[in-house]
Amino acid sequence: MTRIRIAGTGSFLPERIVTNDELAQRLPKTSDEWIYGHTGIKSRRVAGPNESASSMGLIAAQRALENAGIAPEDLGMIIVSTATPDYAPTPLVSCILQDKLGATGAAAFDMSAACCGFIYNLEIAKNFYYKPDFRKPILLVATEVMTRKVDWNDYKTCILFGDGAGAVVIEPNEDAAAPSDLVDTIMRADGARGEFLLLEGGCRSYDSLNHPKAHVLQMAGTQVFTFAIKAIEEVVQDLTKRNDLTYDQIARIVPHQANFRIIESAAKRLGFEDLDKFYINVDSVANTASASIPIALDEMNRSGELKRGDKILIAGFGAGLTYGGNYLIW
């Protein structure tokens, strides 16, 4: 049986902070009270002109490698999740990071499942260790500049998003006495409702450059909200049921940080009396898409909130529509 451990974590948030009050000055229908009341968000980070998915991902990666005590040249693979790459479609962000890090021996590829990218990539990465000749560390990076993909005059969507990057380094857990592992993963999709969360600008038959909504995120807010609550509920219920877990055994639940109201509603449907087990930082970082979960894990790791042996559930949802989760023993 192959087991893995998260050897190190890292994250990066841009320096610029945009508060609700600042947004309200350009969005007449909003206010700090209105935005916070609907989303639980007080502020978000916005990338500067010279920051990108690769530049943010590089810093998060360097911090994760340092935290793990692993040199870039020892990496066997780099996997990146991003919906906002530097280039479309090439060179890949993972290849840019391989060069910038000096990880000359590492394979590199990007794999996006929207906001579920990190969840999917954890499972994908673990499966490489079923090859008996592959035991090198793997770097997972999720990095997003979502603020460049929203219409800043659309008060229903632009208030939700922020920029940032998170990273983890995983390696085989060779210690029979150590419990660390990625025990179980759920990866699911509902493609029939994919147009509820849509970003134009691809290679369809129409002229995307002249399309009025090209390259701007479009979201059916009510439908996505409903889907997201059910997705978190389903993932947590299924992971606990098929792994014989009780809520008391779970140290932390780390949901995708899209909207506090989604997390709150899902928790109530799951029967939680409060949100003490849920890690929440959406108030200060907003929705950083696939980067939200590794950013949260890094914050928890560096603050000492995570202890080896802790049982953690991760749950997420995103465009596609995709959803899923992981059961980790830290």
**DSSP, residue by residue, 124-175:** HHHHHTTSTT----EEEEEEEEGGGSS-TT-TTTGGGB-EEEEEEEEEE---
Per-residue b/e over 249-279, b at no fewer than 16 CB within 10 Å? ebbbbbbbbbbbbbbbbbbeebebeeeebbb
Q: Which of 256, 259, 301, 326 is catalytic?
A: 256
Q: Are the C-beta atoms of residues 215 and 150 closer than 8 Å to each other? A: no
The reply to whether 211 belongs to the active site is no
The reply to whether 243 belongs to the active site is no
CA separation for the pair 118, 133 (Å, rounded) = 25
- Is the alpha carbon torsion for 147, 149, 153, 159 positive or negative? negative
List the structure tokens of 76: 């066997």
CA separation for the pair 308, 294 (Å, rounded) = 17
Q: Are the C-beta atoms of residues 329 and 311 closer than 8 Å to each other? A: yes
Exposure of 56 in the CB half-sphere (CA atoms within 13 A): 33
Q: Which of 20, 121, 259, 287 is catalytic?
A: 287
Q: Which of 67, 95, 115, 158 is catalytic?
A: 115
Give the residue numbers annotated as catalytic, written as ranges: 115, 256, 287
